[in-house]
Structure 1
Amino acid sequence: MAYDIHLQEEELKNKVAHDYFAEFDSTQIIGKIDFCIAMPHDSAALFETEYLLWAEAKAGTKKDIYESFVQLILTIGKARTFDHYQPPFFLGAFDAEKIAFLPYENVSEVFYQNDFNWNVTPSNHDSKEFRQLYNMVKETIEKNLLFYHFKDNNKELRAFIRANFKKNIKRVTKKRINLSNLTHIYQHWCKLVKPSINISWDTAKASGILDADFFLADVLSKDNLTLKDKLFVLLKNNRYILDRKINDAGLTEQQIAEFMDGGVAHTQFWNHYVRPPKKEYWESIVTRRDRLVPQDVRERKGSYFTPQQWVELSQEYLAAELGEDWQDEYYIWDCAAGTGNLLNGLSNKYNIWASTLDQADVDVMHDRIENGANLLHNHVFQFDFLNDPFTKLPQPLQDIINDEEKRKKLVIYINPPYAEASDTKTLKGGKGKNAVEQSMVNKKYKSLLGQGNAELFVQFFTRIYLEIPSVVLAEFSKLKILQGPHFADFRKFFRAKLGQFFVIPANTFDNVKGQFPIGFMVWDTKIKIPFISAEADVYNRKGDFITKKTYQAYDLALYMNEWIKPFRGKKDATNIIGKFPFKGNDFQNQNMVQIVHQNMIYNKEAGQFYINYDNVGLAAVYFAVRKSIEATWLNDRDQFLYPNDGWQTDNEFQADCLAYTLFNNNIQSEFGINHWIPFTEQEVNAKEKFQSNFMSNYIQGKCSKKEHTQIELFDQTKNEITPLVFSEEAQEVMDAGRELWRYYHAQPDANPNAALYDIRLYFQGKNEKGKMNNSSNDARYTQLIATLRENLKTLAQKIEPKVYEYGFLKK
């Protein structure tokens, strides 16, 4: 938390004491010291009070917290407080935005200066004595300060207090570095230390020099000396050494990066941690360099760290596919190796090759080899797979690739990068997301790849398939290559036998947040079989097998949007009552498909389906089919398809879809007339007449044939309009909705034309960011909306089997 900069000093002290030191005694007043924290006093105890903190407090925000410490030291020295009270373990200083601690023992000798005039006013920061003392202790404070911002470091501050404000504390308890907190510490390091290093990071990144390597040099050091000399960057006292090499004269050349602030930020940051970590973590920390690489670089270079559980599982599937002795019978090349963790567990190092774009990753792997990694030094090398010629490969690997029989025994085993171009301009030769897709392979094969050329992992597979024929491709990737419409061109030429494979949640991989599946697939590229469908084993994030799922290509299928587009209304027609965007045909776009008022600007970059009197039933079927089944990581790439004709005569299904849609849309009355009220004024006791009774008339069959040519939805053979007949589940939804509308219209300031969104907003309100709150303080409303949602879930479950029966989705 941060405090109001306008708080008076006394109020600020009270709040800090309450918020952070409530378990301690903060009531004692010691001379003119602003703030005192002591262990709670035990009246039965005979020994004196144990003080933990004496601190200087300042209202507002004060940039130079060192001056606060100097004022506190002068206050203590002038009164010789340490002669009358047991000194605290910490001195401190704080204002409305920050707090800092300094072990008392670090400055205790200052109080015994014989030639210093302590008889001055501590608050006079301009006195000669104040500046003299400031210069005397500044370096000590810099080296030992423990600094926190109330807002940004709230969690860390509380942890520090828990660890160090204890009875009989002897030394500062620092946080130990382990595999669990490594990434978190790195993120803080980037904020606090990285800016103090004298280097242009953008220029450095373009040259392959990354902040992660500087961080590793820090972590694996003692007394500011890096303990592992094989790292790409080394810390030596107050500077970093990198790019070390021997020149033609046999002399060592190196680059140096120094601190712009003399190392103050660096020192104060590492005051919080124990360095180095336990030696048992060193190897794992080095291999986790991938986790620390910036995301854009990680994607471009293919440095996603493959979790060990999936590494082990993939090797089990490889053994099942190729035989138990596959490691002795096959050569293995990871051509997007990162730090090589995908190769962990492999036994025959003489058959293993690893290459990566980043020389620093090569250095890490070489260091791992010296610490026991089962790889050969000469089999690990730098290579840009999407740009470099194969003549740059080590000769033994070239020999394998160039020998037809040996090549059949080569397994390309990779977790390639998942970056893709940011927009359609890239697909036409422009520059997209960091131009990630621009490569030699893209230029050479983009006519084959079509829109699939935007994806780096597809470029990897294309070069492997076309330039290293007949190999086994064992790969982690998105399932777009099996199902994605943009990858139809890729599937035309990529013909291979797909063996056993499994799918897992993508967000089990480091720094992947999306809810979609990642598959591990083993392809035999010498057997030319087009992919049509295959069954995958499905594992949850814990590594437990949960089910099987069939994946299929949709290359000969027509999609749902192709089915619905011919029925869209004209934008400027007088009978338009809403719209929704054409946003893909798969579950990953499900949240973007919303019915909104025609005047509302929503997803304007997508095509719009305008809903009118004639097509509202059709729109309801489309909407309910897309929304009634929950989107999960597993069905994320499933495609909605052009249906068969069975749904056209299923009036109950059509009415179910309408009922579902009526209570799931995002219509808002502020944009114009609300045509979606499913009840009459009398049913809900409205205080005024509605602007539109279209929907209640539609449900009751009161629309004229002229007014609504498709009132019976899609059966045009009927000559008369009849009321819709709802199933039991749909009727329960209607009943629950009616009760909600009635309760809303009982409110004194109810809007007669309110839509469901308006009713929810009325009772739930908005937060400070302008978004609707998730809950309401109105108990009756909470009960009514919960009942409606529960009934909608039941109706959705009824609709779901029909979605598959009528071919909107395939099992």
Structure 2
Amino acid sequence: MAKLETIWRQKTDDQHRKALKKRLTKKSAQVLFNSLKSAANEKDIENAWRKVFTEYYVENYDEGFEITSPENVDGFISARSGALIFALRLLLEFKQGTDLTRVNDRARITCQCIHYMHAFKEKGYELPTVIVGADENQAFVLLAGNFYKYLERDYEWGIAPSSAYKRDLKLMRDLQDDANLAVYPFQFVGGNVNERYNSLLDLFDSIDSIVQADGKETYKVAVSPATIVGMFDEFNHIAFREPDKIQPVKAVNMFMQMLTGKNSNDYYFLPRNRNLYHLPGDEKAKVYGVRLEAYLNHYDRNFTPKEVDQLTAIADRLIEANERRFKGDFWTPTIWAQRADELLKEVIADDYKDDSLVWDCAAGVRNLTREFNYDELFISTYHEDEVYLGEGYNPEAKAAFQYDFLNDDVLLNPKDKPDPHDWKMPESLFNALIDAGKTNKRVVFYTNPPYGTATNVKADGTSKKGIAKSKVNELMVKQGISKASQQLYCQFFTRIVKLVDDFELKNVYIGFFTKPRFFAGGDYFEKFNQFFFSRFKFVKGNLLNAGEFSDTANTWPITFAVYQLGTGCTDQPTNQFTIEQSDYSNGKAKVDVVGTHTMQKVYNNDALSTWAREPLKQGCFVKMVKGTYPQLSSALNESRGKKPRGRLHQGSLGYMVSNSNNIGEGTTNSGVWLVSGSAYKGNGFNVMPENFDRACVNFTARRAIAPTWYNEQDNYHAPDTSNPKYQEFVNDALVFTLFENASYQAAYRDEDWSNTNVPGKWANQWFWLPIGLVKEHVENDSNLNPIYDDLRGDQDRFIAKQIAHRSFSNEAQAVLDAAEKVWLETLPNRAMLFDDYPKYYLEAWDAGWFQIKQINHLYPAASYDQFRECFEKLKQKSGQLVYDLGMLNK
């Protein structure tokens, strides 16, 4: 009977969901989300919400509703005159800039609505049955009847409802203690489009449930994957008497057990003390029982088995990363677990699950394996509570156990410790590994390891206190591969290699989700890659956007890659990946392959950053500039109060910040930039005549490439200087470096700085026009006397001399010509700015392009758009040449 009831309920719910989707389409939802995102003020938010509520209830609902604004409320939806009487009378209130996860902000809106209801009552209007409060990101639903009691009390009824939260403080205090406000809002930010759409459907579903109940009973808010993250935040806020003693994983476990009741024999409120919650092992957590029961009773917890699976599957999302033992733990969506299984089948065999020992050694709540069945599966996780959270999944597993993969048993080996009872791992796993070593049975290490950085581990593998982060880290220090140990997934790889050696395994595969940074090389990974790829070869892998993993950024890639143990393996210079993305169209989830990308391992000896600095290592640049000089954070901003790290050599043309060697860092204005003084930030080098061309090539290569999520970790290789296109690129790069937005070269006239024989005169060696041309245009204009006086006795700058004896491509020459026009058009306007903008140093005859742009911002030059078009063509050409010259792979 119970089974039939479940089937009937699910069928009814499915029908209702279809009706919801007809009245509120995904297109309408997207219009709402876009309008909320672009809202400039509170009225915009009100209009966006009123539109969607009107569409749902007035235009598409079967019954006769209308929307009005009595007493100037933001919206009131009720039955039209002459229509049948329905329970729904909906009071709407919209705000901007609130945080509806906070009780205070929910109380603020509710306080205003109660004042509206009091006015309704005084004038004989029907009272609302439902209250909805919303802002640009969230919305919450309240049963209005739970708040009628306040209408009979003595509050500040004479004030305007909009100011009630500031003036009716007694009502605000009463509301903050009201358990009926212990709701969590529906979220419309973060996650993917489907999650936000489903959250909106849940909002209207909750309102409809009140109509069906005739508004007489306290309704239950639906629990869904779209709302559960916020629900847990509220739970965590109200639940614990001693919150500092509750680890995040334990809190998540309690929350999920309270919601789903999966293991009621071990998890329950003590009958005689509701402020104690029983946990496995007869442990008891101190809680606020009354608060919790009021909170939980607000939600519909009659879940189908499928719904229980869906909620448990995202338990990892609830554990805050900064509280976990390992940073970088991310919930693996089902669609990517299925895709990972497909890749393992493509590489190993279709039936690998039937004849392999599979060990998920960072299993969490078993997101990777829960959809499948394995002949010999072992599941371990660092957090013991996750073992309980995952109960019910993979019942065929030989063992599911708590295990610190980077510390437990690391220093043991079966030759010295042949007794499995000396090991932390289960005896069944120990014996299975021993057997696999003897029989060559296939072993598959398959997991999504933490791929955050162990930030308290130094580059030498030790922590700030000199103590190793883990026992695996200690091994990596001894093996000389300690730099990579900061990446926790590298520690997982290293532990697997040790298990292979200890148990003499010969038929081994690894299937890991990781960041793909080590496939780009770099000094950080060089020794580790030599170590790992001498034992395992990369077979196949994909690149997916990190945003596919909910609650992570969408600007960098994740790879799922399969590696095979082999002999004679070497560190391959390039590896090709498919670029993949999820597709949820037509109600089905699938993965599409949208392209390929080749990652090249670039190590220090071949890196562009090393090549650009190489001429400075000749030993002739040891003399440093004496006295003070500009330590800059941009062209015209000195970093006072900061400890500058840049130092100028004598004869320096300026300083180029060039942080790291990858695309992602190079395209940010904090990663690669140029000044004609020094930079407060280190991670750069002096630009000297001897390395001038290389500096320009480095700057252009780093700044001309458009970053994508899948290439942002790619490292730059030194250019192929034998390529016929190289010299043209060098000259193009000179022009690009002069005029790109992160080129902050400027001239200074500051009493404290001088790089000439004139006190207070800092020459801008990056000024590109000859001094004779400047003199010709200022000598007959009395308004520009300061510039004419400044150029007396001076000479052409370094860049002007270089341009004079070089030939340029059509694209570069067009930029030079357009820039000269802009300079000419802005020149007469300088006189108006001398006094008002002394910080621009516009009396300097060699004022750089950055300074000229400041004039253009105030008095736009007619030729500036032409300049931008020409520069964009040069940028596109330069970006292509970066690939043609072998600095990057596509």
2:475 aligns to what?
Answer: 444
- Alignment counterpart, residue 358 of structure 1, candidates 370, 375, 383: 383
2:461 is the counterpart of 1:431 = no
- Alignment counterpart, residue 424 of structure 2, candidates 362, 367, 392: 392
Check 1:176–1:383 CA distance in 2 against 1; reply closer, same or farther (3 A cut): same
Q: Which one-letter code corresponds to 1:496 in the other structure?
A: R
- Alignment counterpart, residue 515 of structure 2, candidates 478, 482, 492: 478
1:771 aligns to what?
Answer: none
Residues 547-601 of structure 1 show CA distances to partners (whole Å, capped at 9, x for unaligned) of 4444454469433333232434665155433211342233243134433325454
Contact 2:368 / 2:447 at 8 angstroms: preserved in 1?
A: yes
Deviation at 1:657, TM superposition (A): 0.9
Task: Give the Cα–Cα distance (whole angstroms) in 1 for the partners of residues 83 and 69 of structure 2.
Answer: 18
Give the TM-score taking structure 2 as reference length: 0.66
Deviation at 1:287, TM superposition (A): 1.8
Task: Give the Cα–Cα distance (whole angstroms) in 2 for the partners of residues 277 and 739 of structure 1.
Answer: 71
1:257 aligns to what?
Answer: 286
1:179 aligns to what?
Answer: 225
Task: Give the Cα–Cα distance (whole angstroms) in 2 for the partners of residues 176 and 723 of structure 1.
Answer: 74
Alignment of 1:191-210 (within 5 A): 192-205=234-247, 209-210=249-250
More displaced stretch, 778-787 vs 749-758: 778-787
Contact 2:765 / 2:797 at 8 angstroms: preserved in 1?
A: no
- Alignment counterpart, residue 666 of structure 1, candidates 737, 743, 746: 743
Check 1:575–1:735 CA distance in 2 against 1; reply closer, same or farther (3 A cut): same
Check 1:340–1:761 CA distance in 2 against 1; reply closer, same or farther (3 A cut): farther
Check 1:571–1:70 CA distance in 2 against 1; reply closer, same or farther (3 A cut): closer
Deviation at 1:755, TM superposition (A): 4.1
| 3-state DSSP of counterpart to 1:468 | helix
- Alignment counterpart, residue 529 of structure 2, candidates 480, 488, 491: 491
| 3-state DSSP of counterpart to 2:709 | coil
2:444 is the counterpart of 1:411 = yes
2:869 aligns to what?
Answer: 787
1:678 aligns to what?
Answer: 768
1:603 aligns to what?
Answer: 681
Deviation at 1:761, TM superposition (A): 5.6
Task: Give the Cα–Cα distance (whole angstroms) in 2 for the partners of residues 139 and 697 of structure 1.
Answer: 71
Structure 2: give runs of 5+ residues left out of the alignment: 1-40, 55-65, 96-102, 160-169, 190-195, 413-422, 583-590, 626-648, 749-761, 834-839
Deviation at 1:76, TM superposition (A): 8.3
1:796 aligns to what?
Answer: 878
2:122 aligns to what?
Answer: 81
Residues 344-396 of structure 1 show CA distances to partners (whole Å, capped at 9, x for unaligned) of 44333x3111111111111122233xxxx4533x5211111111127222222
Deviation at 1:165, TM superposition (A): 11
- Alignment counterpart, residue 455 of structure 1, candidates 452, 471, 487: 487
Q: Which one-letter code corresponds to 1:667 in the other structure?
A: Y
1:504 aligns to what?
Answer: 543
2:269 is the counterpart of 1:229 = no
Contact 1:736 / 1:787 at 8 angstroms: preserved in 2?
A: no
Residues 73-95 of structure 1 show CA distances to partners (whole Å, capped at 9, x for unaligned) of 8998999737x44333358999x
Check 1:392–1:68 CA distance in 2 against 1; reply closer, same or farther (3 A cut): closer
Task: Give the Cα–Cα distance (whole angstroms) in 2 for the partners of residues 492 and 35 of structure 1.
Answer: 68
| 3-state DSSP of counterpart to 2:444 | strand
Check 1:229–1:796 CA distance in 2 against 1; reply closer, same or farther (3 A cut): farther
Residues 668-710 of structure 1 show CA distances to partners (whole Å, capped at 9, x for unaligned) of 648665443434685897774386899975555xx4xxxxxxx
| 3-state DSSP of counterpart to 2:807 | coil
2:310 is the counterpart of 1:284 = yes
Residues 211-239 of structure 1 show CA distances to partners (whole Å, capped at 9, x for unaligned) of 3334434544xxxxx46537878799965
1:128 aligns to what?
Answer: none
2:362 aligns to what?
Answer: 336
1:774 aligns to what?
Answer: none
2:561 is the counterpart of 1:524 = no
Check 1:19–1:39 CA distance in 2 against 1; reply closer, same or farther (3 A cut): same
Task: Give the Cα–Cα distance (whole angstroms) in 1 for the partners of residues 819 and 338 of structure 2.
Answer: 51
- Alignment counterpart, residue 513 of structure 1, candidates 553, 566, 583: 553
2:645 aligns to what?
Answer: none
Deviation at 1:504, TM superposition (A): 1.0
Task: Give the Cα–Cα distance (whole angstroms) in 2 for the partners of residues 325 and 69 of structure 1.
Answer: 59
- Alignment counterpart, residue 216 of structure 1, candidates 256, 260, 280: 256
2:497 is the counterpart of 1:465 = yes
| 3-state DSSP of counterpart to 2:674 | coil
Deviation at 1:299, TM superposition (A): 6.9
Tell me the number of residue pairs that the alignment of Structure 1 and Structure 2 aligns: 712
Check 1:230–1:332 CA distance in 2 against 1; reply closer, same or farther (3 A cut): farther
Deviation at 1:724, TM superposition (A): 1.8
Check 1:346–1:792 CA distance in 2 against 1; reply closer, same or farther (3 A cut): same
Task: Give the Cα–Cα distance (whole angstroms) in 1 for the partners of residues 559 and 92 of structure 2.
Answer: 58
Q: Which one-letter code corresponds to 1:176 in the other structure?
A: A
2:336 aligns to what?
Answer: 310
Task: Give the Cα–Cα distance (whole angstroms) in 1 for the partners of residues 250 and 474 of structure 2.
Answer: 28
Deviation at 1:283, TM superposition (A): 0.4
Check 1:324–1:790 CA distance in 2 against 1; reply closer, same or farther (3 A cut): same
Contact 1:101 / 1:146 at 8 angstroms: preserved in 2?
A: no
1:652 aligns to what?
Answer: 728
Task: Give the Cα–Cα distance (whole angstroms) in 2 for the partners of residues 288 and 216 of structure 1.
Answer: 10
Residues 409-461 of structure 1 show CA distances to partners (whole Å, capped at 9, x for unaligned) of 2111122111223266363522399x9x7112222342212312222212221
Contact 1:321 / 1:500 at 8 angstroms: preserved in 2?
A: yes
1:770 aligns to what?
Answer: none
| 3-state DSSP of counterpart to 1:540 | strand
Residues 266-319 of structure 1 show CA distances to partners (whole Å, capped at 9, x for unaligned) of 847985x65456653210210211122111355717742223333223222322
Deviation at 1:727, TM superposition (A): 0.3
Check 1:168–1:537 CA distance in 2 against 1; reply closer, same or farther (3 A cut): closer
Structure 1: give runs of 5+ residues left out of the alignment: 1-11, 125-133, 221-225, 246-252, 704-710, 713-721, 766-776
Task: Give the Cα–Cα distance (whole angstroms) in 1 for the partners of residues 704 and 736 of structure 2.
Answer: 8
Q: Which one-letter code corresponds to 2:146 in the other structure?
A: N
- Alignment counterpart, residue 142 of structure 1, candidates 154, 157, 178: 178
Alignment of 1:58-97 (within 5 A): 81=122, 84-89=124-129
| 3-state DSSP of counterpart to 1:444 | helix
Q: Which one-letter code corresponds to 2:499 in the other structure?
A: E
Check 1:784–1:537 CA distance in 2 against 1; reply closer, same or farther (3 A cut): same
Contact 2:609 / 2:658 at 8 angstroms: preserved in 1?
A: yes
- Alignment counterpart, residue 665 of structure 2, candidates 565, 583, 589: 589
Check 1:625–1:230 CA distance in 2 against 1; reply closer, same or farther (3 A cut): farther
Q: Which one-letter code corresponds to 1:402 in the other structure?
A: I
- Percent identity between matched residues is 20
Residues 34-64 of structure 1 show CA distances to partners (whole Å, capped at 9, x for unaligned) of 9696459989999999975599x9xxxx989
Deviation at 1:667, TM superposition (A): 0.8
1:772 aligns to what?
Answer: none
- Alignment counterpart, residue 396 of structure 2, candidates 371, 375, 383: 375
Task: Give the Cα–Cα distance (whole angstroms) in 2 for the partners of residues 740 and 640 of structure 1.
Answer: 34
Task: Give the Cα–Cα distance (whole angstroms) in 2 for the partners of residues 759 and 163 of structure 1.
Answer: 59
- Alignment counterpart, residue 607 of structure 2, candidates 559, 584, 588: 559
More displaced stretch, 550-559 vs 417-426: 550-559
1:719 aligns to what?
Answer: none
2:766 is the counterpart of 1:728 = no
Task: Give the Cα–Cα distance (whole angstroms) in 2 for the partners of residues 42 and 557 of structure 1.
Answer: 78
Contact 1:352 / 1:375 at 8 angstroms: preserved in 2?
A: yes
Contact 1:515 / 1:632 at 8 angstroms: preserved in 2?
A: yes
Contact 1:337 / 1:355 at 8 angstroms: preserved in 2?
A: yes
Task: Give the Cα–Cα distance (whole angstroms) in 1 for the partners of residues 311 and 791 of structure 2.
Answer: 65
CA RMSD of aligned residues (A): 5.4
Task: Give the Cα–Cα distance (whole angstroms) in 2 for the partners of residues 200 and 458 of structure 1.
Answer: 36
Check 1:146–1:747 CA distance in 2 against 1; reply closer, same or farther (3 A cut): farther
Check 1:747–1:462 CA distance in 2 against 1; reply closer, same or farther (3 A cut): same
More displaced stretch, 493-502 vs 741-750: 741-750
Check 1:648–1:552 CA distance in 2 against 1; reply closer, same or farther (3 A cut): closer
Alignment of 1:289-304 (within 5 A): 289-297=315-323, 300=326, 303-304=329-330
